[in-house]
Structure 1
Amino acid sequence: MITYIELWKAKQAWIDLSKEERGNYLAALAPAIQQLLESGVQIVSWGNNEASTFSKAEYDYFAVWTFPEIGSVKNFESMVEGAGWYNYFHQVNAMGNAISPQEVMAAMINL
């Protein structure tokens, strides 16, 4: 199981769109998201990055997904890029296999 985390914030190009244009763009993404879910991808959480978060990352929104295998991740990344998402949003991603806290700590110790 692969965990994938996205953090994003709007670029000026997004802000410059009308509300109707923003809504139309996001509505056009719905079928692609549905296809992902039907292929075994899961949405763990989407949300707003709360201003009161300690040591807050400078991004406004987040999404946490799980993917069954790397091929579905690569398909997702291609879909996001192909949809022109990065024209409208500054985004950073994190991805990795879900492992135990002990395994992460061991990796930290063994740097």
Structure 2
Amino acid sequence: MECFIELWSARQVWKQLSHEERKAYLEQIGPHLENLIEKGVEIVGWGVNDEATTHRANFDFYAVWKFPTLEMKKEFEALVMEAGWYNYFHQENASGKLTTPDEIIGKLIVI
């Protein structure tokens, strides 16, 4: 199982679009996301990055996804690129195979 975490904020070019243009852009992405969900991709959650978060990342929104396979995660990443998402949003991502706290603690000890 792969985990993918997105952190993003709107670029000025997005803010300059009308509400109708924003809605039309987002609506064209929807069917692609629904297709991935039908294949077993899970949206763990989307949210607004709380201003009161300790050591807050400088992004306004986040999303957490689970992908059954690495190939599906790559399909999602390609979809995001093809949709031109990064033209409208400044975004940074984190991803990797889901594992256990004990495994990560072990890795922290040996680094």
Aligned match of 1:2 = 2
Which 4+ residue blocks in structure 1 deviate beyond 4 angstroms?
Answer: none
Aligned match of 2:37 = 37
Which residues of structure 2 form unaligned runs of 5+?
Answer: none
Residue deviations 1:63-89, cap 9 Å, x none?
000001111011100100000101000
2:91 partner letter: Q
Aligned match of 2:16 = 16
Q: Determine what percentage of the aligned residue pairs are the same residue.
A: 47
Alignment of 1:1-111 (within 5 A): 1-111=1-111
Q: Distance in 2 between matches of 1:18 and 1:58?
A: 25
Q: Distance in 2 between matches of 1:86 and 1:97?
A: 24
- How does the TM-score come out when normalised to structure 1? 0.98
Q: Distance in 1 between matches of 2:8 and 2:85?
A: 10
Q: Distance in 2 between matches of 1:95 and 1:107?
A: 17
- How does the TM-score come out when normalised to structure 2? 0.98
Q: Distance in 2 between matches of 1:29 and 1:51?
A: 28
SS across alignment from 1:23: helix
The alignment's C-alpha RMSD in Å is 0.6
Which residues of structure 1 form unaligned runs of 5+?
Answer: none
